[in-house]
């Protein structure tokens, strides 16, 4: 998607018809250029209807990211964040890692409509589409070293769980270490990358992907059960409000974490853990499988798994988790 395609998308986001001629005039290009620009939307899975005599319209209206709307929704916590919204980037995490190394301030947020190389945990790709998913990263600096940040990804998951509850999701929850789940399907995930050394200071780039309103074309590209906030909240969700809500929850969580680590958040996290007390199988990075019962999480965020050979402590990033019984749903 190039800059013209984004400008054309913004003109159609409301979901009403615009004639090719009016769009071409407003954007100072030919009608053929508009046609080509919109063709690029079709190619990535954003459906555009073309009706002779009426022009173009999107199959569904989109809420595009709007920095002013986000700032407004942030209210009194706006001053803690420095927000930048991009149309297109390879990955917001990659960009913020580069900026972290260059000394960018704590609280910098980069949100993007379109990531060409969005990354998930354990080397997976993160699929998203403009207007459908929230993809953003937050840089947060800590006086402590990278070792202190072990439970950070769980703390971030908790902030998201609080935020989606505020957005109307009744029975969302977490899957260790930080998948956001609704009725057994994935709503979002977190990718944390560190900059700094073990003794400190350090910086964390907290990358968050949240499915807001997923078209069928995107669902078909994802190899696991996923769901969006519009379905889970049974309402239309405003991506700008959701982004602000997550940042509003992240601020107190990160402030608490910077003082005392994950320990004070542990009890609430366990209440949100959909697999607490369940029999699970854990797939180790080498492909081996460990079966056990989830006893809880430790103060450093390690998963405590009771097995026939005793209690194991499993660290974030090393394993994935699957229920041996159908995925649980919270009450």
Q: Which positions lie near ligand BTN, rule CB under 6 A?
A: 91-93, 115, 118-121, 124, 126, 135-137, 179, 189-191, 207-209
Count CA atoms closer than 13 A to 60's CA, side-chain side.
14
Cα 38 off chain centre by: 26
Shortest gap between Cβ of 91 and ligand BTN (angstroms)?
Answer: 3
Q: Give the residue with the Cβ less far from ligand BTN, 55 or 179.
A: 179
Give phi and psi for 162, each to the nearest 5: -65, -40
What one-character DSSP code corresponds to residue 15? S
State the virtual CA torsion across 169, 320, 176, 143 in degrees, nearest 10. Answer: -120
Dist. CA 265–CA 302, nearest whole Å: 13
Selecting among 7, 88, 183, 186, the annotated active-site residue is 186
Q: Give the residue with the Cβ less far from ligand BTN, 12 or 249.
A: 249
Shortest gap between Cβ of 267 and ligand BTN (angstroms)?
Answer: 24
Q: Give the residue with the Cβ less far from ligand BTN, 7 or 88.
A: 88
Shortest gap between Cβ of 110 and ligand BTN (angstroms)?
Answer: 9
Q: Which residue is nearest to ligand BTN (CB)?
A: 189
Shortest gap between Cβ of 9 and ligand BTN (angstroms)?
Answer: 19
Question: What tokens were used for 108?
Answer: 């910098």
Dist. CA 319–CA 299, nearest whole Å: 18
Q: State which H helix or E strand residue 216 sits in.
A: helix 216-219
Q: Give the residue with the Cβ less far from ligand BTN, 20 or 209.
A: 209
Shortest gap between Cβ of 75 and ligand BTN (angstroms)?
Answer: 24
Cα 190 off chain centre by: 6
Nearest to 318 by CA among 291, 282, 275, 278: 282
Shortest gap between Cβ of 293 and ligand BTN (angstroms)?
Answer: 24
Q: Give the residue with the Cβ less far from ligand BTN, 135 or 231.
A: 135
State the virtual CA torsion across 302, 303, 304, 308 in degrees, nearest 10. Answer: -130
Q: Give the residue with the Cβ less far from ligand BTN, 121 or 141.
A: 121
Is there a catalytic annotation at residue 322?
yes
**Helix, strand, or coil (residue 313):** strand
Provide DSSP, 130-186.
Answer: TTTEEEEEEEEEESS-GGGGGGHHHHHHHHHHHHHHHTT-SSEEEETTTEEEETTEE
Is there a catalytic annotation at residue 278?
no
Is there a catalytic annotation at residue 216?
no
Selecting among 121, 141, 248, 266, the annotated active-site residue is 121
Tell me if 258 sits within 8 A of 142, measured CB to CB: yes
By annotation, the residues acting in catalysis are 121, 186, 322
């Amino acid at each position: 998607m190039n800059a013209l395609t984004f400008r054309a998308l913004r003109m159609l986001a409301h979901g009403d018809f615009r004639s090719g001629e009016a769009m071409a005039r407003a954007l100072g290009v030919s009608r053929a250029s508009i046609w080509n620009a919109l063709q690029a939307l079709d190619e990535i899975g954003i459906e555009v209807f073309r009706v002779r005599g009426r022009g173009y319209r999107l199959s569904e209206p989109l809420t595009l990211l709007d920095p002013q709307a986000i700032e407004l929704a942030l209210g009194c916590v706006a001053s803690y964040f420095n927000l930048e919204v991009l149309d297109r980037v390879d990955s917001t995490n990659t960009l913020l890692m580069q900026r972290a190394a260059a000394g960018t301030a704590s609280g910098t947020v980069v949100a993007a409509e379109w990531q060409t190389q969005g990354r998930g945990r354990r080397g997976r790709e993160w699929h998203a589409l403009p207007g459908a998913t929230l993809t953003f990263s937050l840089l947060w600096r800590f006086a402590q070293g990278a070792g202190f940040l072990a439970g950070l990804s769980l703390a971030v998951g908790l902030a998201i769980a609080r935020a989606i509850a505020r957005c109307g999701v009744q029975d969302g929850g977490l899957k260790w270490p930080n998948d956001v789940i609704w009725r057994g399907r994935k709503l979002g995930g977190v990718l944390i990358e560190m900059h700094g050394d073990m003794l400190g200071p350090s910086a964390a780039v907290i990358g968050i992907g949240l499915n807001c309103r997923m078209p069928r074309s995107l669902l078909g590209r994802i190899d696991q059960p996923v769901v969006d906030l519009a379905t889970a909240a049974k309402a239309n969700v405003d991506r700008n409000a959701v982004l602000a809500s997550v940042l509003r929850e992240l601020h107190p969580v990160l402030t608490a974490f910077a003082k005392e680590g994950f320990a004070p958040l542990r009890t609430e996290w366990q209440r949100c853990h959909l697999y607490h007390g369940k029999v699970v199988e854990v797939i180790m990075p080498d492909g081996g499988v460990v079966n056990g019962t989830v006893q809880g999480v430790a103060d450093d965020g390690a998963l405590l798994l009771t097995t026939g050979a005793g209690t194991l402590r499993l660290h974030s990033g090393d394993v994935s988790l699957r229920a041996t019984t159908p995925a649980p749903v919270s009450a």
